[in-house]
Amino acid sequence: MFLTKIHLNLHCKEVRRDLSDPYQLHSTLCRAFSDSQKKCPANEFLWRLEPETNPLGYPRVIIQSRSAPKWDKLGIKEWLFDSAPPIDINRKLSLDKLAKGKIFRFRLRANPSVTRGGKRFGLFKQDEQSGWMKRQSQRGGFSILEDTLRISQEQMIRAKQHEGNRITIYSVLFDGCAEITAPDVFKDTIEKGIGHGKALGLGLISAVPISLGA
C-alpha cells in the first residue's frame, strides 16, 4: 500500500468544483488509478481532506492506495499544486511485523452512526461519538489509550450522487493514541478503513508509531 500527500491548486476551477462536492473529488482521484481499458478498481484507495493547509492556504489531501497514483492521468494540468512521493505504508509501519502492545497515534474522519429500522442515523452527542469510536477500535484490533481521544471538526458533508440524488452525511474528526491488541485485525483495518462514506473522503485511518514517552 502507498500513502500520498497532495495539495490542490485553488486557482483551478476544477479544484473549486471538486472541493464543493466530495463525489466529484473522488471521481477526479479515480483517474490516477485507471486507464482507457480499465476503470478504477473498487476499494483501490481511501482519501481524506485534511483540516491543515500549506503555507499558501492550499488544501491538503491524503490518499492511501493499493498502487502508486499516476497524476499525469488526471488530464487537468492545473489541478495539483504539489505532491509528495508515495510512501510505502507496509515498509513505513512494518505492517507485516506488527506486534501486540505497539503504540500508534491515529487520525480518522468518519460518520459515527447507528442503524435503526434499516436507516442510518448520525450520532451528534460527543459521548455517543466517543462510544462509537471505542466500539470501532475493539472491532479493529486496537484499544484507545485513556484520555487521548479528541473529537473535532464536525461537518455536514453534502454531495450529489451519479444518479442525481443529493445526500448529506454527518462527520467528525477523531485524533488519539492507541495500542494494538490484535495485529492481523489492525492491519486489515488499516487496509479497508472504518465506517461508511468512503467515497466521500471518510474511513481512512492514518497511523504513526510513537514511543511511550512521546
- Between the CA of residue 170 and those of 22, 83, 108, 181, 197, what are the distances in Å? 13, 29, 14, 29, 10
Whether 33 and 138 map to the same domain: the answer is no
CATH number of the domain to which 35 belongs: 3.30.70.1200
Examine residue 132 and state whether it is found in any structural domain, yes or no.
Answer: yes
Among 68, 91, 114, residue at a domain's last position: 91
pLDDT class of 212 with cuts at 50, 70, 90? low
Whether 62 and 19 map to the same domain: the answer is yes
Examine residue 110 and state whether it is found in any structural domain, yes or no.
Answer: yes
Q: pLDDT tens across 19-57, in order?
A: 999 999 999 999 999 876 567 777 899 999 999 999 999
Find the domain containing 104 and state its range: 96-209
Among 91, 115, 146, residue at a domain's last position: 91
Of residues 92 and 11, the one with the higher pLDDT is 11
Tally the domains of the chain.
2
CB 160 within 8 A of CB 166: yes
- Does the pLDDT at position 211 exceed 90? no
Q: What is the model's pLDDT at position 142?
A: 97
Q: What are the helix (H) ranges across the chain?
A: 13-20, 22-30, 89-92, 126-139, 183-192
Whether 159 and 174 map to the same domain: the answer is yes
Whether 75 and 102 map to the same domain: the answer is no
- What three-state secondary structure class fits 187? helix
Whether 140 and 191 map to the same domain: the answer is yes
CATH number of the domain to which 150 belongs: 3.30.70.1210
Q: How many angstroms separate the CA atoms of 47 and 29, rounded?
A: 9
Whether 173 and 101 map to the same domain: the answer is yes
Whether 158 and 63 map to the same domain: the answer is no
Q: pLDDT tens across 90-123, in order?
A: 888 888 888 999 999 999 999 999 999 888 889 9
Highest-confidence segment of 17-21, 74-78, 160-164: 17-21
Among 91, 123, 145, residue at a domain's last position: 91
Whether 21 and 6 map to the same domain: the answer is yes
Whether 56 and 150 map to the same domain: the answer is no
Examine residue 203 and state whether it is found in any structural domain, yes or no.
Answer: yes
Examine residue 202 and state whether it is found in any structural domain, yes or no.
Answer: yes
Average pLDDT for residues 83-95, to the nearest whole number?
89
Whether 71 and 86 map to the same domain: the answer is yes
Examine residue 214 and state whether it is found in any structural domain, yes or no.
Answer: no
- What three-state secondary structure class fits 24? helix
Q: How many angstroms separate the CA atoms of 177 and 137, rounded?
A: 11
Whether 28 and 76 map to the same domain: the answer is yes
Whether 84 and 164 map to the same domain: the answer is no
CA-closest candidate to residue 28, choices 76, 83, 86: 76
